[in-house]
Each structure stands twice: as C-alpha cells, then as structure tokens.
Structure 1
Amino acid sequence: MATVLLSVVTWNSADCIEACLRSALAQTYADFELWVIDNASADDTRARVAVLAATDARLRLHALPENTGFCGGHNYALDRTATEFVLLVNPDIEMAPDYLARAVAAMGPDARIGTVCGLLVQSSEADPRIDSAGLVRLSGGRYGLRLHGQRLSEVGPLGPVEVAGADGALPLLRRRCIDDLRVEGSFFDPRFFAHKEDWDVAWRGELYGWRTLFEPACRALHPRQFIPVNLAVRRRLGGAIKADAVKNQWLLLVKNTPAGQVATMLTQALPRQLFILGYLLLFERTSLRALRYVWQHRRDLLASRRLVQQRAAQHWPAPPPAAPSQHAPLSAVESVV
C-alpha cells in the first residue's frame, strides 16, 4: 500500500477546517500523512487544527509566517515530501470515507494517468447540484467546471472518463506527474497565488502527455462560493483576488500556448480580453495592475514559456525521475505542531 500525503492549505478557515480534517482522518485508506499548511491565519484556525493534531499522529500543522496563497502553501508540502501520491484538499471539503481508497485504486497500472478527480457536490441532499466533475476545456485558453450546477439526476449515470483536467479542490496526483510538471522547481506557479492554478496544471499536463481521470465513485461535499465570472459575486470580492483573476489568464496564455497555435489562440482569446479591458477601465480600474504586472514581468514569463514548450515538444513518455533531493529545511520562523 502506497503512502499518500494529504495536503490542506488554510487561511482563516476556522469555520470549516474541523469538518474537513475529521473527514480526512476517517478515510478507510489508512496509510497516509495529513499536513495542514496554514497561511498566517488571523482567526483560530491554528488552534482548532492543533487540538485535532494532539489526538492523531498522522496530522501535522505547519504554521507559515505569511500568506503564500494556495500555490505557495501546497508547494511547501510538495517540496518537503516524497510520497508516491498526493491528495490536495481544500479546507471546505468533506470527503466520503472511501474517497482516497477509490482514488488510489483508479490510478491503476496506467502510468500515464497523472491525476484522478472525483465527483464534488454542493450539498448533502438526496439530489444535490454538482460542483464539479473535473474540468472541461473552453476556447481562448480557459477551462470550466464540468457539469457545474446541474442536478445529479439530470446528468444520468456517470462513469469513469478522461477529462481535460482536475479542479484544484480535491485532485489525487501521482508524484511522477508532479515532478514532471515542475517549472523552475515549482509545481504550482507561485505567481498565480490562488486562482486558475489548476487550469495552468491541466494545460501543462495535456501538453506533456499526462491523462486526468474522472472517477465518480470518489465523492465529496464542496459548497463552492468563489465564481468570479459571476459579476454579482465578483463585485463582493477583494481587489487582490479580482486582479489575480485577470493576471493569471494572461500568464496561462503566455506560458502554455504552443507556437503553432498562437494565431488561433489570439483569435479566440482577444475579443474576451478586450471586453475585460473595457470593463476594467469603466468599473474596476484597480485591476489594471494585473496588466501592468504581466508587462513588467514579461521576460520572466517568456523564460517560463521556453521551459514549458521545450518539455512539451518531448510529449510522452515523461523523462525519468531525477535523483531524490533533500527536503527543503524548515526556516527558523516556521513552526510545526
């Protein structure tokens, strides 16, 4: 039985973290370690996690001194572990007890399956609305939540199927895939911070030849609230989140569009991006800093692009794994419970 790392990144998650961790600790697949990486929460998230950690040795709290975002938090865990599989867990997730066991089984003998994602539903009612069933590829370098908002009864029987990518809320990743998708040492691009990073991974995985499997037998509750394309919701969001939503789309396009598809991608993406620019000029001028960021960091982005496209040219099979390196040491200001 392979050991699995469950990585949970928190930031002011006191209202949901206990239910999440209890569902994780109740998994029937017992060979796992559970890390909570807290991004300098101002509420009592850390205290709640510490209470549970005192009752189960598999649970460890890593308290970071600053908010490194979804990307930085998970990178912290990925850089310090070497388990064969990693399950990334949003703090507002509640898993069925057999989620992990079914996800590991779904990986199977096919070495090209790099990610397994399950059926996430928005409520515990008898006929819930679906939160996600993996990602679907859209035009213009965008992705969407597959079957999002539909009643379970409306979609008919669901079976295992290959999808365009995995929603970042609860994907099981093969370590070989994680290491292959690293760019400049990082699995998640830290420039994304906390939005569309799963789109970036999905696109890069597709370029490199990895497969993502949706397994509906893996089921979890996820009452998603952050949907920035909904303008009513967007207006209530903080400025940094809204700017990231704009910035990260350009990061995706610059890094991942193959040279032979640039003209087509511009045709698809430009009308939407011009509309967004007009919206920002009229209603959300603070988010114009996103475009300024892309311009100021264009050389770094182009350097990342070269690395992504060089690896993409190899496609499959993935290169052999590098020799194991020493885990990054804890800094003097990081604490572990």
Structure 2
Amino acid sequence: MPSVLLSLVTWNSADSVEACLRSALAQTYTDFELWVVDNASRDDTCARVEALAATDARLRLHRLAENTGFCGGHNYSLDRTRSDYVLLVNPDVEMQPDYLANAVAAMQRDEQIGTVCGLLVQSQEADPYIDSAGMNALPDGRFGLRLHRQRLSQAAPEPGYVDGADGALPLFRRRFIDDLRVEGHFFDPRFFAHKEDWDVAWRGRLYGWRTWFEPSCRALHPRQFLPANLRLRNHLASAIKTDAVKNQWLLLIKNTTVAQAPRLLLRAIPRQLAILCYSLLFERSSLPAYRYVWQNWQQVRASRQLIQARARRGWQPAGSAPTSPAPAPTTPHYATLVPH
C-alpha cells in the first residue's frame, strides 16, 4: 500500500484538472496513489482524467452518481483507503515537484502534528501575492487566511505552528483523520462545501493536535471564492451563499466549549445577527440556512456532545487510546440544501 493518498475531488473542473494532475504525478516523492473522485461532472472532466490515467497506473478515477460536495467526495476516499498520510488536492492547484516530499518530511517533526500546510501563491510571477500560509483562528469563531494578498517578498513567511490549514492542499496524518471522525465522518457531510477546513482546524485544536506551516511546500492557487467580499458575493450561486451561512452556525454549535462560550459568543452573535438582517433585507436566498439548522438541531447537538466529550480527554499520544474506525464503505448519499 502506498504511504500517501492524494485525494482530488472534481466537479466540472475540466479547465484546470489536467495541469493539477500533471503537477501531482510529477512529484519527486513517488510512493503515492492518486484518487480523483468526480461529483457527477457535466463537462469533459472525466475524459481528461481518464486520458492521463491511461499513462500512469497511480491515477484512478472514481465516478459518483451525484454531487456530494467537497466533504462527501473526500470522505469517499478517506473511508476506502488506509495510507499513512492523505494529501487533499483542489483541482485548481499546481504543486511544485517537491511539495509532497517536503510535507512528509515536515510531518516527522512531531507526532502531535496532524496537519502540514504549504505556501499557496496566486500567480507564477517573481514576487506573487500570497493566497494562504495556513490559517489564523479569529476571536468570533471564524478562521482567516494567513498573509492573504501580501506580497511574498514583504511577508517572508517562516516555518512554524499555525492555527489551521486551508483546505486547498493540506497533508493529514491518518491517525489525525481517524481521531477527528464524528459518527464515522472526518468531514461533516452537512457542510457539503465551504468552511469544512475551519471545522477540521477547530476540532483538531480542541483535541490537542497541531498544524505546521512549511513554506518549502509551495503551490499555485488562484483563489476565487471569498464569501465575505460583498462585491464578489453578489455573483455567487445562492447555494454557495446559503452554505456559508449555515456552516458558520454548525461550527459555533458543535465546537464552542463551555469555557470559550462567554467571550467567543459575545463576539460571534452580533456578527451573526447582522448577517441575518442582511439576509432578510438583501439576500433572502440565504434564509434556508436558518431553517436547516432549526430542522436539524437535534442531530447537530448530538455531534456537539461527541466532540465536547472527546475534547475533554485532551491530547492522546499514539497507543494511548483507540481511534475511531472508518465506517464500512457505502454508496454516499448526503443531504444538502440545494444541488451545486
């Protein structure tokens, strides 16, 4: 069994997937297999993947009959493999050839490192803007991209521990994946897409895991989705905006500890009330997010109880406690608000 699984989820990704796959297959660290899980694309994504798969046995295409989102697609891969490490790969990234080798080496620094993230830049120019250098936890229950839109020469990012990893290209330790499972799932399928990396980062911190930022791991990622940008937000599909609202509430309900609650909610609730008012006045298409949280309150509360109980046990070194086993593979079927 290869030591690393590269998991790539596609959905109508024909315009970028070939460049992404070629950069993945060109990695100097070669002990990996690459799974492309396609979420029922309507373009020629699968044809492009199959053409490359015919040239490299490490690449395998898995077609899903419906769109299960970022979360469902990656859960499909995680539930069916047992590699030591998993690198999540967005279809719009292009890795430098030593990205994976440097990430695996960084993971060996400390058994408490569950995630390694690299330096993502927005262009190939000599002094590009940084897309992300990991994430910072904000005091209102959100996460922000570290050094986003700063020039590389000015920021000069150094390796070190950060609060979390952006979901575009993180390397996860398998024991971290299994420890973070809730009701069998690593990614909460209720998120579908967006802010699931915040959820993983928050839960990992609660459990005592750490995230290492390694700038020698470098990749191109011309990010487009930033829901807080109102000018861009007006051009986004309503389902994306609904997920962004819904998922923030899921984050707060599941992950806020009793100790965190007074200070965190004092900052979070005013912002969330402002978002509700904005939705009522200008973005009524996002209102189903609140109905979803209300209708699924009992299930979300049950997830919270499991997360908080695990968090109270703190850091669990290897061999000290069993991790949650992966569920038996099944055909995925995850409910979402509207199809993406």
> Shared fold (TM-score greater than 0.5)?
yes
Aligned to 1:208: 207
**Structure 2: stretches of 5+ with no match in the other structure:** 333-340
Distance 1:107 1:59 in 2: 24
Contact 1:196 1:245 in 2 (8 A): yes
**Is the contact between residue 7 and residue 74 of structure 1 (CA under 8 Å) also seen in structure 2?**
yes
**1:13 corresponding residue in structure 2:** 13
Matched, 1:328 2:329: yes
Classify the secondary structure of the residue corresponding to 2:259.
helix
**Secondary structure, in 3 states, of the residue corresponding to 1:177?**
helix
Equivalent position of 1:335 in the other structure: none
3-state secondary structure, aligned to 1:103: helix
Q: Which residue of 2 aligns with 1:49?
A: 49
Contact preservation (8 Å) 1:17, 1:49: yes
The corresponding residue for 1:244 is: 243
Q: TM-score, normalised by structure 1?
A: 0.95
Native 8 Å contact 2:2 2:33 kept in 1: no
Alpha-carbon shift at residue 261 of structure 1 (Å): 1.9
- For 2:15 and 2:198, the matched residues in 1 are separated by 27
Query: For 1:75-126, what per-residue CA distance to the aligned partner results, in whole angstroms no more than 9, with x for missing partners?
Result: 0000000000000000001000000000000011511000000000000000
Distance 1:324 1:68, change over 3 A: closer
The alpha-carbon distance between structure 1 residues 329 and 297, as it changes in their structure 2 partners (threshold 3 A), is closer
1:22-101 pair list within 5 angstroms = 22-101=22-101
- Partner SS state of residue 213, structure 1: strand
- Check conservation: 1:112, 1:211, Cα contact below 8 A: yes
Count the aligned residue pairs.
330
How far is 1:2 from its partner?
Answer: 6.3
AA of the residue aligned to 1:205: G
TM-score (norm 2): 0.94
Over residues 116-157 of structure 1, what are the superposed CA-to-partner deviations in whole Å (9 max), with x where a residue is unaligned? 00000000000000000000111210000000000001113x
Q: Percent identity?
A: 70
**Aligned counterparts, 1:1-337, within 5 A:** 3-156=3-156, 158-318=157-317, 320-322=321-323, 328=329
Aligned partners of 1:2 and 1:285: how far apart in 2?
48
Q: CA deviation at 1:237?
A: 0.4
Separation in 2, partners of 1:277, 1:322: 38
Give the distance between the partners of 1:289 and 1:326, measured in 2 at CA.
30
How big is each residue's C-alpha offset from its partner over 1:2-57, in whole Å with a ceiling of 9 and x where there is no partner?
Answer: 61000000000000000000000000000000000000000000000000001100
1:31 and 1:185 map into 2 onto residues whose CA distance is 27
Q: How many Å apart are 1:320 and its aligned residue?
A: 3.1
| Cα distance between partner residues in 2 of 1:51 and 1:118 | 29
1:152-190: CA deviation from partner (whole Å, max 9, x where unpaired)? 01113x221100000000000000000000000000000
Tell me, in whole angstroms, the C-alpha distance in 1 between the residues paired with 2:326 and 2:193.
27
Task: Please give the alpha-carbon distance, in whole angstroms, between the structure 1 residues aligned to 2:55 and 2:247.
Answer: 40
Aligned-partner Cα distance in 1 for 2:330–2:120: 35
Shift of 1:329: 5.5
Change beyond 3 A, Cα 1:55–1:225:
same
Question: Which blocks of at least 5 consecutive residues in structure 1 are unaligned?
Answer: 332-337
How many Å separate the matches in 2 of 1:68 and 1:90?
Answer: 15
Change (3 A) 1:44 1:317: same
Q: Tell me the alpha carbon deviations over residues 289-316 of structure 1, each in whole angstroms, 9 at most, x when there is no partner.
A: 1011111111001000000000000011
Q: Residue type matched to 1:161 in 2?
A: G
Q: Report Cα offsets for 1:206-243 as digits up to 9, x if no partner.
A: 00000000000000000000011000110000011000
